[in-house]
Amino acid sequence: MANWQGYLQDDELDAVRTAAINAGLASDGMLAALTSGMSPLFAATLQGSGLPPAARLLVQLNQLNDVHNLRNGDVPLAQWLEAAIALAGDRPEVETFEDTLELVQLTPPEAIDGGVNTEDTGAANLDIRPEAMVAGSDQTVDISFLEGAIRNSRSVVKVLVQRHEDGEAIFLSGDEPWLINGTGWFIGPNLLVTNHHVINARRSFPVQEPDASDLDFRMQAESLTVLYDYLRRDQPSAQTVAGQGALVASDKALDFAILRLANPPEARPPLPLRKRIIKKKVEQALGTRVNVLQHPNGDPMRLGFRDNFVVVGNDAGLSYLTDTSFGSSGSPVCDDRWFVAALHSGSRNVSSQDLVIRGKKVRRENHGIPIPTLMKHLEANHPDLHAEILAGQS
């Protein structure tokens, strides 16, 4: 380490500082966010307290540049740049942060320890460098991401709806009940939400059937079977039936139905809800991701979180490339902190004709109803239920 001169030259540091200011990161709150992922003991040593944010930014960047790594292996400058990339979002300055992060990660060994012994490397290894972000930006997630998925899975259930006609349950040959698979989740204490079309239990493809009558819709809601913790086929799953008077709110246009369960096997915590809509225009680059806990095809619970980009986000809907299938209807669409952003509803023709994933042109995208839009509808039409859900969030 005797020859260590820092990761960046003065002009490179200045480019990072300028990008941070232009991206709106030179404020007290943003400076705190930029260092929040570092070791608290190290973050407490950062200088510049009492200086204006822009000056403090300069002082701290110089200090971070001088530190090669902490005793636990952390590289504070790399952590700062990763945070800057996340906070900058779709702003053009993110390119500066990404390029600089790559420069930090590819700092050659001779710049660190005064040279390496090349006698034993072999010609085939001369081009090996320390690590790489293959996609150009960090695609890893904190391990707590998996903890969040497991935590939320406790409040996601498989639902089975038996079709009714003229007030009578319908059975197939062999006295098998005519069942519709779906997914649901707890939006409030003992309050289960799924899609309106799941409770409707009528086919929309290849031919659109008439909607269930009000009587049949209510009876289908009341006879709905809920399967808890259905994670493996060879493990038993607790089951309950929604019960009389279960249906408390529904709307066909927003494709939701909320049921109050009379006798769940145990209290399941409501999933945390986003208060703000994920905003994204179709012309913006893919970046924001959403994850779907679901029971596709009625299977044990699965998690969709690969190629899971948001395509469009606005008040009317959220579209995304996260994989789903029949039976996924009613699933929670969660952001990377496991707050529910939307209620999954189905798929539609893709909003952009220029999307290519894994070499294949994307022709359809999944679609959900933004949670803030659903909550606004409840506030206007079911204020008591809206208040109950908000109380459950606290």
Ranges of the chain whose pLDDT falls below 50: 1-2, 109-126
The total of other beta-carbon atoms located within 10 Å of residue 134's CB is 7
Quote the pLDDT of residue 115.
41
Q: Which runs of consecutive H residues, i.e. helices, occur in the chain?
A: 10-22, 28-35, 40-43, 53-66, 76-88, 94-105, 110-113, 144-153, 196-200, 214-222, 371-381, 383-393
Q: Cβ of 300: how many Cβ atoms within 10 Å?
A: 16
On whether both 94 and 38 belong to a single domain, the answer is: yes
Contact 222, 212 (CB under 8 A): no
Question: In the numeric block, which tokens belong to residue 142?
Answer: 């904190």
- Residues 238, 324 within the same domain: no
What separation in angstroms does the CA of 24 have from each of 43, 61, 93, 115, 347?
A: 21, 16, 10, 39, 36
- Looking at the structure, do residues 231 and 322 belong to the same domain, yes or no? no
Give the pLDDT score at 108.
Answer: 53
Same domain assignment for residues 362 and 312: yes
* Overall number of domains in the chain: 3
pLDDT at 37: 86
| Residue 296 belongs to domain with CATH number | 2.40.10.10
Tell me what pLDDT residue 142 has. 86
Q: Which amino acid is at 130?
A: P
Q: By three-state DSSP, how is residue 91 classified?
A: coil
Average pLDDT over all residues of the chain: 89
pLDDT given for residue 116 in this prediction: 39
Does 337 lie in the same domain as 253? no
Q: Identify the pLDDT of residue 205.
A: 73
Same domain? 154 vs 256:
yes
Q: By residue range, what is the domain housing residue 247?
A: 149-260
Whether 241 and 327 share a structural domain: no
pLDDT of residue 137: 62
